[in-house]
Structure 1
């Protein structure tokens, strides 16, 4: 079957969430506005996640997986998804499902004239420390990138696949996806989406990851922006 849209789901030690992930994503494929497949990227989980992923994929034709030899981080998992997606559109959602798969339809509705549409978590259900560290990190990132985005950490995005495949991903650059689309002269948009508290498992990022890490990554982005190669072909013969 040919799919129009593939959702990338990075997984790292999420065995407690995967039954719910299967249920909600399977339900979404039935109401999706594009024919949809799911691509799990198991980032070297040390729990029973891989066995559960294999069982899910065996039960559901539209579900597939990539399994890393070892833990390489969220940016690597997203990059692997970009590399393997064949559908013209791809999406990204975290396996903790603090965002709702059905909200992909809100993003897909806008993707036609844009090259990336990202969610903005309305009425966030996180702790005060997590909310404040994310707010500060987003402010720092906007000062460096001028991308105009309020919540690049929102784990709900839709991107045109040809743009995603041209992103030179490095560790930490998953926070800069809108800025990397802008470097390609693409158009980006943010749309409010639902947000929920984590139901199971544990968060993989602390204050360091949300605040200090993004600050240092900003300098890497500035260097990359100066060196980035972009061109448009006028004609060929």
Structure 2
């Protein structure tokens, strides 16, 4: 451990020649940001509702992390860099034990708790940014070794996860209770049903799920293309989850369903909860045997849906659990986005070994019962093939078309994809390693069932 610290410290600790502005920034992060965090938590507690729930979780996680860190410091006292004559110390500090860093521990507990329970994504990102700044500042100022900070991050994150609200039994249409506040603001709204596609019995084969936020300019043409691709040979419905749009996405959807004679369901979240939660809401309200996911920006081509359905019918003979994943052939995105995806897909394939070349493609098909048996977590839509494989299902890849976005802007950036992607990928890998697939060697039945 000493060798690792000695190697990392010069790269992280600010040298004597460091710009004064950078030193000032580090001192502000170390000394002032904890007070900012305290004021923010107080404001959240006063706001009430899911904000108060998040504030309570943050405080409890920080308290537990503080106690654990104090115990570790007492059990394994270790000197600070200055006591060993290492690095440059830019701020005065006592000679108390350095492992783990108390600042990093409490800040990490705050960030992880916000990630788990914050009702808005910007709050979680702000808390994570604050935690990262505090952790960086402690080594930059020469007050801690790098491994002190890493240990603190681990203790803080574990404290937040240990105290995270646990799922409780909920009504089938309810969102997971540990995802705070995602009530539906409007009930299911079916539109006119065309005579050529009777929606009774098993004729409803497919539910097309569309998560959308501020896609009013794209959703109308998309619904029309879905109708053209599936009518009249496939019984289907379209389920749109309006994830907190500020435009007329829902109204445009309903109007286009009426024009195209499509059975539609409109479900509105009271506020934006993210793509995975929107898809979960849609899956729980869907009526079709197969669930087809498609992005609301119009870049996926609905003309490819019949190919996914044909592959699903072929896979049915081998068992009920499977996933048909689209693979975008000629991707119509910027070079920067393509590069991000190539790197992310390569890392994901290396870690998860799911055999899917393009997990970011929004066009996928999964049987409804399979979907509802998967573990839910935010951003799970990125890992659907791996999650299906985890329960013993099969994955098939179908080449699909890809088109430029008609209107609007993407809701994803390199920053928000990177953080959650790395964390979730590690979690999925853990789930896959912990899963077991029992194989029956024998089955015997005795007696008759009770009348």
TM-score by length of 1: 0.91
1:137-184 per-position Cα deviation (integer Å, ceiling 9, x unaligned): 111111221101100110111111111111112111110000011011
Distance 2:214 2:382 in 1: 21
Alpha carbons 1:8, 1:81 under 8 Å: kept: yes
Cα distance, 1:97 vs structure 2: 1.4
What corresponds to 2:211 in structure 1? 10
What corresponds to 1:219 in structure 2? 426
Alpha carbons 1:141, 1:214 under 8 Å: kept: no
Query: Quick check: which has more Rg, 1 or 2?
Result: 2
Q: Residues 41 and 228 from structure 1, CA distance in 2 versus in 1: closer, same or farther, beyond 3 angstroms? A: farther
What corresponds to 2:41 in structure 1? none
What corresponds to 1:187 in structure 2? 394
Correspondence 1:141-180 to 2 at 5 A: 141-180=348-387
What corresponds to 1:98 in structure 2? 299
Tell me, what secondary structure is at the counterpart of 1:109? helix
What corresponds to 1:29 in structure 2? 230
Tell me, what secondary structure is at the counterpart of 2:427? helix
Cα distance, 1:61 vs structure 2: 4.4
Distance 1:104 1:183 in 2: 25
Q: Residues 232 and 64 from structure 1, CA distance in 2 versus in 1: closer, same or farther, beyond 3 angstroms? A: farther
- Select between 82-91 and 211-220 the one with higher mean Cα deviation: 211-220
Alpha carbons 1:137, 1:215 under 8 Å: kept: no
Distance 1:47 1:207 in 2: 25
Which one has a larger percent helix, Structure 1 or Structure 2? 2
Q: Residues 5 and 235 from structure 1, CA distance in 2 versus in 1: closer, same or farther, beyond 3 angstroms? A: farther
- Select between 33-42 and 53-62 the one with higher mean Cα deviation: 53-62
What corresponds to 2:32 in structure 1? none
Does residue 1:121 correspond to 2:328, yes or no? yes
Name the structure, 1 or 2, with higher relative contact order (CA <8 Å, separation 6+). 1
Question: What root-mean-square deviation, in Å, do the aligned CA atoms of Structure 1 and Structure 2 show?
Answer: 2.1
1:38-67 per-position Cα deviation (integer Å, ceiling 9, x unaligned): 110111112221222333345544111111
Q: Residues 235 and 52 from structure 1, CA distance in 2 versus in 1: closer, same or farther, beyond 3 angstroms? A: farther
Q: For structure 2, which runs of at least 5 residues remain unmatched after alignment? A: 1-198, 316-321
Q: For structure 1, which runs of at least 5 residues remain unmatched after alignment? A: none
Q: Residues 199 and 188 from structure 1, CA distance in 2 versus in 1: closer, same or farther, beyond 3 angstroms? A: same
TM-score by length of 2: 0.49
